[in-house]
Structure 1
Amino acid sequence: MVLHIPTLLVVSVFIFFLMSLLTFHAWLRETRERPLAYLGGMMLLAAVGMVLVSLRDQGADYVPKVLGNMTLLLSAAFNWTAMRVFTGRAPHLPGMLAGAAVWLGLCLCLVPSFYQSMTVRVSVYSLLVASYGLLTMLEFWRSRQRLEVAYLPALALTLLHTVFYSVRAVIDQGLGLDQALKGYGAGVPFFSFMLFESMLYVIGIAYVTLSMVKEQVELRLKAAAFCDALTGIGNRRAFMVNGERMLIECRRRGESVALLLCDLDHFKRLNDAFGHQTGDQALIAFSQVLTQTLRKQDVFARIGGEEFACLLATADEQTAIQVAERIREGFAHLPLLAPGLLSVSIGVVSSQTAGYELSRLLSQADEALYGAKDQGRNRVQTVTRGTSVLQLS
C-alpha cells in the first residue's frame, strides 16, 4: 500500500509545527532546560524546510533546492545541538552551520553533477543528515559514564534514523514533485516511507527528550534535597540515608565503622566578632578540609549549624582518632583567620563499642564531643578517654 504523498506532506508539516509549539511551551515553563529550546527549533526548521522543498516547479528553483535543503540541514544540526547541550556540552556553532554551508557551497559553485542531478543531491543531503546523526550518537557515547538518565531510547531512535539516511544515500534515486504529487514512479514507496519515518522520529525524539529532561530535573531536585546549600556537601538527610546504608553493608561484611562528630568551637562568638559572612566562610572551609581528608567511600555531612558528622568505613577507633587529628590540625592551620581563632572539637566512637545502630553511634559521639568541650575544646576525644592536643597560640 502506497501512502498518499500530498497528504503526508501536509500532515508532516502540521506535526512538525505542532510539536515545535509544544516543545517551546515546555521550554518556556522551564527556561533553564536549553535542550528543549534547540529541540523546538529543530522541529520548527523541519516544518519550514518541508514547505520550502515542496515549492518545486514554481519558477524559483533555488528556493527548494538551496534554501529548503539548507533549512532541513539546520534542523538536523539543531537536533544534534539539543543532545549535545543535554549532555552538558556547549553548542558548537561551526558544526551547526557546517551542513548548510557545504550545501550552499556546492550550489553556488553550480557543479552540474550536483545542481542538475537529483540523485546526487539526495545522496549528499542524506550523508550530511547521517553525519549529524553520528555526531548525536557520539555525544551520548562520550557521556555514557556520567549520564544518570535513561538515554538508550534516544540513542536507539537516533541510530535507526541515521541508518535510514545512510541507506537512502545509496539506494534513493530521487523523486520529481510531479511524480510525488501524482503518486507514480519507482521512488514513490520510498519517498512515502521517508515522510512517515520523519514524523515518527520527530514524535519519538520529542517524547524521549522530554522524558530525559524531566528525569534530569528530578535528579537535580533530589540532589538538592540531599545537599547542604552553603557548603555543597551532604545535609542531615543525606547523612542518615547514606550512613544507614553503609552501616548495614559493613555489618554484613563484619567490618568496623567509626563515627566522628565535629563541632566548630566558639562559632557564635566568631559570627558576632567578624560577621556572618566570615562564619559562612569558616563552615565552607571546614567542609573542604573534610573533602580533602576523607576517602570517597566515607560518608560525611553538615548535620546542623556548625556541626558535622563523618562515618568512616573499615576504620577502628585508633584509625578514627588519627583521621580526626588530621581534620583538627588542617582546620586550625587554615589562613582564613589569625592563628588560634579557628578550632574544632571532635567526638569519636566506633562500632566496636557502640554497635552498628546509627542513633546509638550519634548519641555516644555526642557524649564524647561534649567531653571535648568540657576539657577545653580544640581536641579529639572518645567516649572512654581523650587525646590531649597542643593548644594553638
Structure 2
Amino acid sequence: MPLNIPTLVMVDIYVLVLVGLLMLHAWRRGRRDSTLGYLAAALLLGALGTVLGSLRGIGMDFVPLVLGNGVLQISAALTWTALRVFVGRQPHLPGIFAGAVIWTLLCLNPAFYESLAVRVMVSSLMTVCYTGLAALELWRSRRSLEVAWVPALVLSLFHAGFYCVRIVVDQGMPFDMALASAGQGTRFFALLVFETLLYAIGMAFVILAMVKERAELKFRAAAYCDPLTGVGNRRAFMSSGEYLLKGCAQRGEQVVLLLCDLDHFKRLNDNYGHATGDQALVAFGQVVEGSLRKQDVFGRIGGEEFACLLGAADLEAGGQVAERIRREFAGLPLLEPGQLSVSIGIVSSRDGGYDLFRLLSLADDALYAAKDKGRNRIQRYPAD
C-alpha cells in the first residue's frame, strides 16, 4: 500500500509538536531532571525543521535546504544531549551546534548545494553520528544505570541503521509538496518519514519511562536511607536482615547480630553541641562500614543505636569485628582521647535462631549488660 507523503509529513509535524509539548509539560512539572527539557526541545525543533523542509518548490529553496536541515541537525544533537544529561554528563554545546554549522558551511559550496545525492549522504551521515553518540552514552554508562536502558539503545541503533541504509539506496527526494501530491516521490522517502515519526515517539516515551523509573528509585532509596549518616535506616535493616536470615537458614549457616550503642551520647551533645554529636554518628557509621563485608547488613535503628547482621559468621568472628569497631571508633581524632566509646552486644543464631526480632531482643540484653559493666566493652549473649 503506497504511503501518501504529504499526509505523512503533516502527521509527523502534528505528532512531534504534541509529544514535544507533553515532554515540556512533564519537565516543567518535575523541575528536577533536565533530560526531558532537552528532549522536548529536540522534538519541537524536529517539527520546525520538518515544516521548513516542506517549503521546497515555492521559490525559497535556501530555507528548506539550509535552515530546515540545520534545525533538524540541532534536533538530532539535542536527542543525544538528552541521553548525555541523563547518564550524568554535562551538555556539550559545541557538539550541539556542530552539525548545523558544518551543514551551513557546506551549503556555501555550489557543488554541494546543487547535488541532491551528496546532500542526502552528508545529512544521513550526520544523523548516524548523533544517533550513534546517543547509543554510546547509554552503553558506556550501562554499569551505573539502574533503569531499563536497553529499549533506548535498541531504538537508537535501529534509527542509525536505517539512515545507513538510506545512504546506500536512496538518491534523495526533495521536500516538494507539489511533486509529492502529484505522486512523484520515492517509496523510501515515505518510509523515511514514517520511521522517523516512530523513532521520535518511541524515544520520547522510553526516555520518559527511564526518567520516571530513576525518580522512583531515588524516592525508594531515600525511604530506606538514614539522612544523617547515609547508612540504611531501621526499615532497610529489618527488610535486608530478614532476607539475609532466610538465606542463611536455608543454607544452615550461622548468623551473628551486633547491637551497638554510643556511650554517654547525651552528655557528648550537651558538652560539645549537637553538631559534634552528628559528626560522631557519621564517623561511627563510616567505621562500621569499613569493617563489614559486602554481604553484611548494617543500619541505624535508633538515635545512637546501630545494628550489624553478619551472615555466615560465628560468635568468634563477630567478636573480632566488634572489637575492631570499638577500637577504631575510640581512636578517632574527633575529640580528646577517652571521649568516644561504644558498647556492643553480640548474639548468635545458635542462641536466638533466625528470628530477627528475637535476635535484637537478646542482643539488647547483652548490650545492657555491657553498659552495666562500665561501657566501652563487648558483651556476648548470654551474659556472664
Normalised to the residue count of structure 2, the TM-score between the two structures is 0.96
Distance across 2 between alignment mates of 1:321 and 1:164: 63
Offset, 1:55: 2.1
Q: Where does 1:1-393 land on structure 2 (aligned, <5 Å)?
A: 1-108=1-108, 110=109, 112=111, 114-176=112-174, 177=176, 180-185=179-184, 187-385=185-383
8 Å contact from structure 1 (residues 4, 183) kept in 2? no
Aligned partner letter, 1:273: N
Offset, 1:155: 1.8
For structure 2, the 5+ residue unaligned runs are none
Cα-to-partner distance string for 1:321-359 (whole Å, 9 max, x where unaligned): 111111111111111111111111111111122211111
8 Å contact from structure 2 (residues 55, 177) kept in 1? no
User: Which position in structure 2 is the counterpart of 1:390?
Assistant: none
Offset, 1:180: 4.1
Aligned length: 383
Distance across 1 between alignment mates of 2:284 and 2:327: 11
Distance across 2 between alignment mates of 1:111 and 1:220: 54
For structure 1, the 5+ residue unaligned runs are 387-393
Distance across 2 between alignment mates of 1:147 and 1:16: 28
Aligned partner letter, 2:103: W
Distance across 1 between alignment mates of 2:34 and 2:237: 33
Distance across 2 between alignment mates of 1:47 and 1:171: 25
Percent identity reads 59
8 Å contact from structure 2 (residues 57, 178) kept in 1? no
Residues 198 and 189 from structure 1, CA distance in 2 versus in 1: closer, same or farther, beyond 3 angstroms?
same
Offset, 1:167: 0.6
RMSD: 1.5
- SS where residue 346 of structure 1 aligns? strand
Aligned partner letter, 1:44: L
Distance across 2 between alignment mates of 1:342 and 1:27: 48
Deviates more, 1:348-357 or 1:34-43: 348-357
Distance across 2 between alignment mates of 1:79 and 1:326: 51
- SS where residue 231 of structure 1 aligns? coil
Distance across 2 between alignment mates of 1:183 and 1:196: 19
Distance across 2 between alignment mates of 1:128 and 1:4: 27
Aligned partner letter, 1:232: G
Distance across 1 between alignment mates of 2:381 and 2:183: 90
Deviates more, 1:366-375 or 1:201-210: 201-210
Distance across 2 between alignment mates of 1:7 and 1:167: 24
Distance across 2 between alignment mates of 1:94 and 1:290: 46
Offset, 1:59: 3.6
Deviates more, 1:243-252 or 1:9-18: 9-18
- SS where residue 301 of structure 2 aligns? strand
Normalised to the residue count of structure 1, the TM-score between the two structures is 0.94
Residues 180 and 356 from structure 1, CA distance in 2 versus in 1: closer, same or farther, beyond 3 angstroms?
farther
Offset, 1:385: 4.5
User: Which position in structure 2 is the counterpart of 1:389?
Assistant: none
Residues 173 and 377 from structure 1, CA distance in 2 versus in 1: closer, same or farther, beyond 3 angstroms?
same
Deviates more, 1:49-58 or 1:311-320: 49-58
Distance across 2 between alignment mates of 1:60 and 1:3: 26
